[in-house]
């Protein structure tokens, strides 16, 4: 039998799904409850159920709630060793194709997708690439599309870029404007920003490379498996799947369809069937 708070959370999540179409029922419970409590504290209400009418009737209040409920922590070239491994192990294979499609999943405010665009540009692949940048949160997608970030982030971004094997001055890719940096519009040329919900939406094209880092940790095992099957079906043969450092495919029903390229860095390749995959060196 559920206690009062569990009942209130269920009613809240049902209301959100009915009104806005977002399904949070398979998100990891501990993280979900913690973030609902943050919204409750910010709202000034005493009970979760008291927020429900305003969530239903006030879109701005719901957007604030949604931003609290989702994790939008990111930075340029986050985890430089990962991007260095992409340069060394994945890019040479992608260069054998006349055209490539890349899916950056859960892009939040967009730093990762611009990092990827810079990497592809330096490796001579950007002009023959199409990058899909998706998130289910329209508010953060708007920030990503603008490509404008606080100036104080540049120091960390530059350091990450250099550690990732960057080939030029990081300042090449942006210009400063008062307290902000604005990334070069040419980096957006081949990026398509789109709303996509991993919990409910379907396959997203025939991809050569999918990056979904530090998203699955917020899902329960059932939803994680659904999403990993979605990625499997969205990848072309020998395509690459990149997950976050605390994420795994080992439990999934599609685990046997992938081989590790850099297991420690969670870079996997969809099997071809005749053993032309890249071998893991970890």
State pLDDT tens for residues 188-201.
999 999 999 998 89
Dump pLDDT digits (tens) for 5-54: 889 999 999 999 999 888 888 888 888 899 899 899 988 899 999 999 99
Whether residue 276 is contained in a domain is answered as no
Beta bridge partners of 154: none
Quick one: 27 and 85 in the same domain?
no
pLDDT confidence tier of residue 278, bands split at 50, 70 and 90: low
pLDDT confidence tier of residue 128, bands split at 50, 70 and 90: very high
Quick one: 214 and 115 in the same domain?
yes
Per-residue confidence (pLDDT) for residue 88, from 0 to 100: 97
Quick one: 136 and 208 in the same domain?
yes
Whether residue 277 is contained in a domain is answered as no
Q: Does 277 score more than 90 pLDDT?
A: no
Q: Does 211 score more than 90 pLDDT?
A: yes
Per-residue confidence (pLDDT) for residue 273, from 0 to 100: 52
Quick one: 215 and 88 in the same domain?
yes
Name the residue with higher pLDDT: 220 or 204: 220
Identity of the highest mean pLDDT range in 4-8, 68-72, 119-123? 119-123
pLDDT confidence tier of residue 79, bands split at 50, 70 and 90: very high
Whether residue 279 is contained in a domain is answered as no
Whether residue 43 is contained in a domain is answered as yes
Q: Does 281 score more than 90 pLDDT?
A: no
Quick one: 31 and 55 in the same domain?
yes
Of residues 242, 255, 182, 188, the one with CA closest to residue 215: 242
Whether residue 280 is contained in a domain is answered as no
Quick one: 63 and 113 in the same domain?
no
Q: Report the number of distinct structural domains present in the chain.
A: 2
Whether residue 102 is contained in a domain is answered as yes
Name the residue with higher pLDDT: 278 or 21: 21
DSSP code, position 243: E
Mean pLDDT of 230-259: 95
Per-residue confidence (pLDDT) for residue 275, from 0 to 100: 42
Among the three residues 69, 103, 124, which one is the final residue of a domain in this structure? 69
Quick one: 90 and 124 in the same domain?
yes
DSSP symbols for 132-194: EEEES-HHHHHHHHHTEEEGGGHHHHHHHHHHTT--S-GGGGEEEETTEEEE-GGGGTTEEEE
Q: Does 127 score more than 70 pLDDT?
A: yes
Among the three residues 69, 100, 121, which one is the final residue of a domain in this structure? 69
Among the three residues 39, 69, 99, which one is the final residue of a domain in this structure? 69
SS3 2: coil
**β-strand 267-270 against 235-243: which pairing, if any?**
antiparallel
Whether residue 18 is contained in a domain is answered as yes
Quick one: 104 and 177 in the same domain?
yes
Per-residue confidence (pLDDT) for residue 276, from 0 to 100: 47
Quick one: 37 and 159 in the same domain?
no
Quick one: 156 and 47 in the same domain?
no
Q: Does 282 score more than 90 pLDDT?
A: no
Q: What percent of the chain has pLDDT over 70?
A: 95
Beta bridge partners of 103: 132, 210
Domain CATH for 186 = 3.40.50.150
Q: Does 177 score more than 60 pLDDT?
A: yes
Quick one: 107 and 62 in the same domain?
no
Per-residue confidence (pLDDT) for residue 199, from 0 to 100: 87
Mean pLDDT of 231-245: 96
Cα separations in angstroms, 71 against 16, 33, 90, 113, 228: 18, 13, 27, 16, 19
Report yes or no on whether pTM surpasses 0.85: yes
Per-residue confidence (pLDDT) for residue 204, from 0 to 100: 84
Whether residue 278 is contained in a domain is answered as no
Domain residues for 234?
Answer: 80-270
pLDDT confidence tier of residue 72, bands split at 50, 70 and 90: low
Quick one: 218 and 237 in the same domain?
yes
């Amino acid at each position: 039998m559920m206690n009062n708070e569990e009942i209130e959370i269920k009613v809240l999540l049902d209301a959100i799904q009915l009104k806005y179409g977002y399904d949070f029922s398979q998100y990891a419970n501990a993280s979900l409850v913690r973030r609902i409590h943050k919204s409750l504290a910010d709202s000034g209400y005493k009970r979760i159920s008291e927020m429900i009418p305003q969530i239903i009737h006030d879109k701005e209040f719901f957007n604030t709630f949604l931003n609290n409920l989702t994790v939008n922590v990111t930075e340029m070239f986050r985890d430089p060793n990962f991007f260095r491994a992409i340069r060394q192990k994945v890019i040479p294979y992608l260069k054998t194709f006349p055209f490539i499609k890349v899916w950056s999943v859960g892009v939040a405010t967009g730093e990762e997708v611009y990092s990827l665009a810079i990497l592809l540009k330096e490796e001579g692949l950007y002009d023959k690439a199409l990058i899909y940048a998706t998130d289910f949160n329209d508010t953060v997608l708007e920030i990503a599309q603008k490509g404008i970030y606080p100036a104080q982030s540049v120091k960390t971004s530059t350091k990450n870029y250099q550690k990732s094997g960057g080939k030029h001055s990081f300042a090449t890719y942006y210009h400063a404007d008062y307290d902000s940096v604005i990334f070069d519009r040419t980096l957006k040329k081949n990026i398509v920003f789109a709303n996509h919900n991993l919990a409910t939406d379907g396959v997203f094209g025939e991809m050569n490379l999918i990056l979904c880092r530090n998203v699955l940790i917020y899902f329960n095992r059932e939803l994680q498996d659904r999403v990993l099957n979605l990625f499997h079906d969205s990848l072309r043969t020998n395509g690459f799947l990149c997950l976050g450092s605390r994420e795994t495919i080992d439990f999934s029903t599609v685990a046997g369809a992938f081989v590790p390229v850099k297991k420690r860095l969670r870079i996997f390749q969809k099997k071809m069937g005749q053993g032309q995959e890249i071998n893991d060196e970890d």
